[in-house]
Amino acid sequence: MNTADRGLPEEEEREAPGQGGGGRRVGVPSTALFTDQYELTMLRAALRGGTADRRSVFEVFTRRLPSGRRYGVVGGTGRVLDAVENFRFDADVLAFLREQGIVDEPTLEWLASYRFGGDIWGYPEGEVYFPGSPILRVEGSFAECVLLETVILSILNHDSAIAAAASRMSASAGGRPLIEMGARRTHELSAVASARAAYVGGFASTSDLAAGFRYGIPTVGTSAHAFTLLHDSERDAFRAQVDSLGSGTTLLVDTYDVAEAVRTAVEVAGPDLGAVRIDSGDLLLVAHRVRQQLDELGATSTRIVVTSDLDEYAIASLAAAPVDAYGVGTQLVTGSGHPTCSMVYKLVARAQSADPKAPLVPVAKKSLGAKSSRGGRKWAARRPDAYGIAEAEVIGTDQVPAELADHLLQTELVKGGEVVAHEPLDAARARHVRARGALPMSAVQLSRGEPVIPTEYV
């Protein structure tokens, strides 16, 4: 029986082919135009000025977490690697650039053979991060690195925002499964990326079939109110669904009168009814009443799924309710109020000349406001206390202290232009559970506060 029949995710079903982050390698068109025009005009000027080949180091980081958040979650790393592999200027793209007069012919010739040949190091997907964390480090010539800025930021800013919201919701759910169902509340491609990021952050399944196809995320879904309204009676609708999907399905019981619908649902499906879904009303009160009624009718194993504009706060408020699973849409795919992480991509070091042996020198923007940055090629480590719980995010540019050598966070993702870190999505999902579990307990508090650990520079 598949998850569509049951209406709820089951842990054992992740082992099925294509489930749990296996997915399919889907052809992706060129990502080269997922960029801002000034990346290409900088390239044009650098080629003409003789600085395009200078060895450079760019880093992705955020200066602050969204207001009230205690930690961030790295999401989208796998998609970044796919984007780098597909960053190619094919004939149609080059023709567009020529027709629009965006770059000159020497630049078009350079772009025609573009392949990123540098190195990328970064926090692995699912890891947590804090202000200043060097989440991604891109090294190579200025020309090849600068072109990747926009596409990298667009992926990491979006996916990390969704993953962070998902993490907060999964922590609030206390082990109860969460269903991602926000496809109709965002752009169709963003919906697929959101489902992926939500899975990394702790969601168990998605309603979005494209996400299931592309990334192997378990998919679920049964019926909406329209299906009930289609029939002459609620009983007819329930009968049609049970006849089609079996008694283990999930029946939607709040189209008319909830109590009457629950009674009818059990009469039609029997006491082995899989679940009922509640999509409106006072969820706390209704869930208690429905649980009592199900038990009285002998449907003691029938589960209760609640939906209806949930966020982490609403989920936390239902902690004492007899709820078995949550379906979340709008608030998840919009980052629960913070749809971006404000990550930036900054040049932090560059060679003094185009000579491959020229030493790197730190560079940084100076600003009177809050937009200054720190120069230098950085490493990052998370220092644990005596109990193994994180106590500081330590960032430096010099030699790594011996006591931190086993706690470094960055891993090699791309070496000499070749991706070396493709991994199943389940690996990122499991990593997040470990990373969040190694933070102080206050990390998952929903009350406003500062980052759960400080960032220290050495």
Report the C-alpha gap between 389 and 287 in whole angstroms.
37
**What is the CB neighbour count within 10 angstroms for residue 356?**
9
The model's pLDDT over 57-91, given as tens digits with 9 standing for 90+, comes to: 999 999 999 998 999 999 999 999 999 999 999 99
Band of the pLDDT at 27, cuts 50, 70, 90? low
Percent of all residues in the chain with a pLDDT value above 70, rounded to a whole number: 94
The model's pLDDT over 142-176, given as tens digits with 9 standing for 90+, comes to: 999 999 999 999 999 999 999 999 999 999 999 99
SS3 145: helix
Prediction pTM value: 0.92
Helices and strands (DSSP H and E) totals, the chain: 16, 18
Enumerate the β-bridge partners of residue 136: 60, 122
Q: How far is CA 395 from CA 228, 230, 248, 439, 458, in A?
A: 57, 60, 52, 17, 6
Report the C-alpha gap between 316 and 174 in whole angstroms.
9
Report the C-alpha gap between 13 and 221 in whole angstroms.
15
Report the C-alpha gap between 429 and 3 in whole angstroms.
20
Q: Which residue has the tokens 């600085």?
A: 51
Q: Which of 27-36, 63-72, 254-263 has the lowest mean pLDDT?
A: 27-36
The answer, yes or no, to whether residue 51 has pLDDT greater than 60, is yes
The answer, yes or no, to whether residue 94 has pLDDT greater than 50, is yes
